[in-house]
Amino acid sequence: MSESPVVPKQNDAATRPGLIRVALQSPSFMIGIVLTLCFTLAALVSFVWTPFDVTQLVISDKLKTPSGLHWFGTDNFGRDIFSMVMVGARTSIAVALIAVSIGICAGVPLGLLAAARHGSLLDEVIMRTNDLVFAFPALLMAIMITAVFGPGAINAIIAIGIFNIPVFARLARGAALSLWTRDYVLAARVSGKGPARISAEHILPNITNLLIVQGTIQFSLGILAEAGLAYVGLGTQPPLPSWGRMLSDAQTMIYIAPHMAIFPGLAIVFTVLGLNLMGDGMRDIFDPKLRRAR
Amino acid sequence: MALLEIDKLSLSIRDIPILRDVNLSVEAGQVLGVVGESGSGKSITAMAIMQLLPVGAQWTGSVRLDGRGLEDCSEKDMCGLRGNDIGMVFQEPMTALNPVQTIGEQVAETILVHTGKSRREALQLARQALNRVDLPEEQFPLDRYPHDLSGGQRQRVVIAMAIALRPKLLIADEPTTALDVTTQAQILKLLKGLVEQDGMGLILITHDLAVVAEMADHIAIMKDGEVVEAGETLDLFRRMEHPYTKALFKASSHIPVRNAAHVAERGQSVLEVSKVVRDYPLPRRSLFKAPGHFRAVDHVTLSINRGENVGLVGESGCGKSTLTRAILALDSVQGGEIRLDGSLFSTRGSGPDRDMRRHVQVVFQDPYSSFNPRHRVGRLISEPFFLLDNPPVGEERQRRIDTALENVGLEAADAQKYIHEFSGGQRQRIAIARALIIEPSLIVLDEAVSALDVSIRAQILDLLAELSDRLAISYLFISHDLSVVRAITDRVLVMKSGQIVEEGPTEEVFLNPRHSYTRELLAATPILDEALKAREARAQTG
C-alpha cells in the first residue's frame, strides 16, 4: 500500500535531482560556503604571497593603526597583522583538518565495528572507552599531552584528534545500528557476506552524508580548540603566527592597540560561523524530511 | 437528504490534479465502502472531508455535511466540526496514540476541547466511550498507557476517541490493515455495531474487497482520482459494469495456474527442520538468578520437498518470523537441527558454511527497504554471486544478470538503473531476481506480497507459480493472509505460540480444519464469495 504514483518516494540524497538548486535557495548555506571559501583562499595564497613577511620585525612601524599600507595595522613588533591573519588561517585549517581526519579514520571504523558486534563485549569495551575519552575536554587532553611531550602544533593536533574519535565513533555506531536492521543488510547476510564486507559495501556509503556534516561541525570546533590551545601557549609556537596566540599577545595592549585583538578575533568568529552555517545547510539539504518542511 | 454529500469534488496539489469530479454520498446509519488501490485518491478524499489538506491543495465542488457546505466553513468552524461531528480512525494504531498520555486523558481530550464540560465529567464520558468499545473498567482503567495495550486494543482506544462525542460521520481509513485477521474481525464487528447503535454514517476506506463486501451498504470504487463505479453493494457486484471493477474483483480472488502434479515425482526433501528451538534471553531480574528466556520457537519440525510450495500461517507474535530467521541461519538455534538438501545447515552452536548458504535465498516484505539505494540493479541482484567459489565474470556474469531479469519479466537494460526508478511491484520482481540468480533449491518468501496492491499481487503470484513449475524451486511462503496462502501453496502449516498446531495439504486444511485455532483463523478471514453469498441470502429473506 506504500506505493504512490502521485508523489514519487525518494529516500536517498545521492539520487535526488536538483541538489544544487536546493543549495542555492538556502541563503545561510551560501553565506557559509562563501565565508569558508574566503578563508581557504587566504590560507592558500599565503603559501606564495603575503603583503609583508611575517617573520620580519620592523620596530619603527610598531602598533600602526589600519591604513592603506597595513590593512589591519601592525603589532607591537611592527609585523603586518593582515599577513599574520593569512598565515594564521593556514595553521588553523591545517591543525583542524588533520585532527578531523584522525577522528574520522579512527572513530568511524571503531563505530562500525561496535555496530557490527552490537551487544557483545567488544561493543561495550569500545563504547565505554569512548565515554572515558569523551569525558576529557580537548583542552585538558592537550595539557596532559604537553605535560608529557612539550608544547607544539603536532601535540595540539594529536590532542584535538583524540577528542574527535569518540564523536565520530558514536555517530557511526548510532547510524549503522539502524541500517543493520534493514532488509538489504539481511539479504546481504543471506548472501554469506561477513560483517566487514557489509559495513564497507552497505553501511558506510549510506552514512557518508552524516559524516560529512559532522566533519564540518568538528572542523569548526577544531579551529576553536586550536585557537584556545595557542592562546594558553600550548599550541603553535612562535615564530609561526596563529590566531589564538595573536589574541593572547594582544591582551596586554588591548587599550593601546585594540586592532591587534579585533582582527584575529573576527577571523575566528567568521571562520567558525561560516563552517557552522555550511554544516547546518548541508544537513538540511541531505535530510529530505527537513527539506520538505521548509 | 443524505448525511454527507460530495458533489463534483476536484482537487489539485500545486497544479497536479489529484481528484476529478468525485461524487459520494453517505446516509445516516449506513456504511459506505471506498475501495481502491494505492494512489487512487481514497485517503485524500477523506482528508478533503476533514479539510486537513496538504499545503498547496486547492479544491472545487461541494462537500455538504448535514446540509452545511464545508466550502463556506472557516478553519475555526472546521475545528468545531472535527471530532465533534466527524470522527476519524487511522490505519496505524501504534502511532495514532500519544505514548506519554494515559488512554483516559487522550479520550477525554476531545471532549474537553469541544464541550464546556469539567475534567471530571469529561473523564466520565471517556469511561463510557471506552466501555462502548469493549474495554471494560476492570481490565482497562483510564490510567493505562498505550504501551500496556495490544494493537487491537489500541485501535479500540482510537475508535473510542473518534466516537466519544457521538459524531454524525465516522471516517475509518484502512482501520484493520495493520491488524491480525481475528482482531480485524472483532474491530469490524465493533464498528458495525456502533453504526447501528448511534445511527452514524461510516466511510470505510480499504483496499480489501472482501471487507467491504461484508461491511458496506454502498460501495464506491476509485481509480486514479475518479469514482469509476458506485452503487448498492449487491447490485454493484452483480453488475460490475466498469472493466476496472471486474479486474479488481478478479485480482482479489486470483488463483495462479499451477501444475502441482510434479511434486510427487520429485520426492527428495529440500529442507528438513527437526525439533528446532529458538530462545530469546529475558532481562536479568536478580543478580543471583540466571536470566530467564522466552521460547519463540518450540520444537518445530517441518520438511519441504523439491518443487513443493509450503505455506506457514499464523498471527503476529506466533514465532513465524523467528523461525524464518533460523531457517535462513541469520540467528543461531538453541536446539534441533536444520538440514538443506540432506546436509546439515544449522544446529545448536554452529552456523552454516558459505557453500551451504547457496541453497537458500529470501524475499522480504517491504520492497522499499530491501535494496541498498546506492547500487545499480545489476549489482544488487548479483550480490548472491558472493556465495560462489568461482563467480561468473565479464560476459557470463552479464548474461546471468540478464537471464535473471528476464525470468521475472523485466528487461536486461534495467540492470543499469537505480532502485528508486522502480515501483513497488517491480522492486519485488527485482527481489525475486536476486533470490533466483544463483538457482537455490529453496526460496523463503516472508510476507512477500503483503505490501502490494491486489492487481500487482496477482501478477507476482503468477510469476512465482510459473517459476516454481519451470525451475523446480521450493517455496516456504510465510503470510498472515490466508487467501494468498490458499492460492499458491500445496501444503500448509499453522503456527501458534511457537508450535505447529496443524499441518496438511492446503485444500484439506482449508475445507476441513481440525485444530480449533485453524477454525478460528478461517472464520475470521473475510472471503469475498462467501460474504456475497451471505448478503444475498439475507437480501432474499429480508
Is the minimum CB–CB distance between B346 and chain A shorter than 8 Å?
Answer: no
Using DSSP, state whether A84 is helix, strand or coil. Answer: helix
**Grid cell digits, residue A174:** 548510532
Give the span between the Cα atoms of B464 and B425, in whole angstroms: 13
Whether residue B364 and residue A183 make contact (CB cut-off 8 A), yes or no, is yes
Whether residue B39 and residue A4 make contact (CB cut-off 8 A), yes or no, is yes
Amino acid A171 reads L
Among candidates B368, B370, B387 on the partner chain, residue whose Cβ is nearest the Cβ of A191: B387
Give the span between the Cα atoms of B99 and B154, in whole angstroms: 11
Q: Which pLDDT does position A292 carry in this prediction? A: 46
Q: Are B464 and B458 in contact (CB under 8 A)?
A: no
Whether residue A2 and residue B177 make contact (CB cut-off 8 A), yes or no, is no
Whether residue B374 and residue A205 make contact (CB cut-off 8 A), yes or no, is yes
Is the minimum CB–CB distance between B453 and chain A shorter than 8 Å?
Answer: yes
Phi, then psi, of B412 in degrees rounded to 5 = -60, -30
In this prediction the pTM is 0.78
**Grid cell digits, residue B61:** 465542488
Number of residues in chain A: 294
B166 Cα to chain A: minimum distance (Å): 30
Among candidates A3, A197, A205 on the partner chain, residue whose Cβ is nearest the Cβ of B424: A3
CA nearest neighbour of B171 among B68, B50, B274, B40 = B50
User: HSE of B166 in the Cβ direction (CA atoms, 13 Å)?
Assistant: 9
Counting beta carbons within 10 angstroms of the beta carbon of residue B537, is it exposed (0 to 12), middle (13 to 18) or buried (19 or more)? exposed
Q: Which pLDDT does position B267 carry in this prediction? A: 67
Between the alpha carbon of residue B143 and those of residues A159, B100, B110, B120, B148, the distances in Å are 52, 11, 17, 14, 10
Among candidates A8, A190, A206 on the partner chain, residue whose Cβ is nearest the Cβ of B328: A190
Is the minimum CB–CB distance between B55 and chain A shorter than 8 Å?
Answer: no
- ipTM entry: 0.74
A283 Cα to chain B: minimum distance (Å): 19
Chain A CB contacts of B424 under 8 Å are 2-3
Chain B CB contacts of A198 under 8 Å are none
Chain A CB contacts of B442 under 8 Å are none
DSSP B446-496: ESTTTTS-HHHHHHHHHHHHHHHHHH--EEEEEES-HHHHHHH-SEEEEEE
Number of residues in chain B: 542
Whether residue A206 and residue B372 make contact (CB cut-off 8 A), yes or no, is yes
Q: Which pLDDT does position B528 carry in this prediction? A: 81
For chain B, 542 residues long, give each residue's pLDDT as a single digit of tens.
Answer: 688 888 888 988 888 888 888 999 898 889 999 998 887 888 888 888 888 888 788 888 888 888 888 878 888 888 888 888 888 888 777 788 888 889 888 989 888 888 888 888 999 999 989 988 888 888 888 888 888 888 888 888 999 988 888 888 999 988 887 778 888 888 898 899 889 888 889 999 988 888 888 889 999 999 888 899 888 888 888 888 889 888 888 888 788 877 655 555 556 788 888 888 888 877 777 777 777 788 888 888 988 888 888 999 888 778 888 888 888 888 888 888 888 887 888 877 666 777 788 888 999 888 888 888 888 899 998 888 888 888 888 888 999 999 889 888 888 888 888 888 888 888 888 999 999 888 888 999 988 888 788 888 888 888 888 888 888 888 999 988 888 888 888 899 999 888 899 998 988 998 899 999 999 888 888 888 888 888 888 877 75
Q: Which pLDDT does position A2 carry in this prediction? A: 37
Chain A CB contacts of B45 under 8 Å are none
Q: Are A84 and A54 in contact (CB under 8 A)?
A: yes
Is the minimum CB–CB distance between B354 and chain A shorter than 8 Å?
Answer: yes
Q: Which pLDDT does position A114 carry in this prediction? A: 93
Whether residue B453 and residue A3 make contact (CB cut-off 8 A), yes or no, is yes
Omega cis (within 30) before A239: yes
CA nearest neighbour of A49 among A96, A90, A77 = A90
**Pairing of β B309-313 and β B474-479:** parallel
For chain A, 294 residues long, give each residue's pLDDT as a single digit of tens.
Answer: 333 333 333 444 444 446 677 767 778 888 888 998 988 898 888 888 877 777 777 777 777 777 777 777 777 777 888 888 888 888 888 889 999 999 999 999 999 999 998 888 999 999 999 999 888 877 787 788 878 887 778 888 888 898 899 999 999 999 999 888 888 888 888 888 888 889 988 899 888 888 988 998 899 888 888 888 888 888 777 778 888 888 888 888 888 888 888 888 898 899 999 998 988 888 777 765 544 443
User: Which B residues 207-266 touch A at CB under 8 Å?
Assistant: 207
Whether residue A1 and residue B38 make contact (CB cut-off 8 A), yes or no, is yes
Interface test with A, best of B92, B355, B374 (most A CBs within 10 A): B374
Place of cell 511434486: B263
Q: What is the CA radius of gyration of chain A?
A: 23
Phi, then psi, of B372 in degrees rounded to 5 = -70, 120
Whether residue B369 and residue A15 make contact (CB cut-off 8 A), yes or no, is no
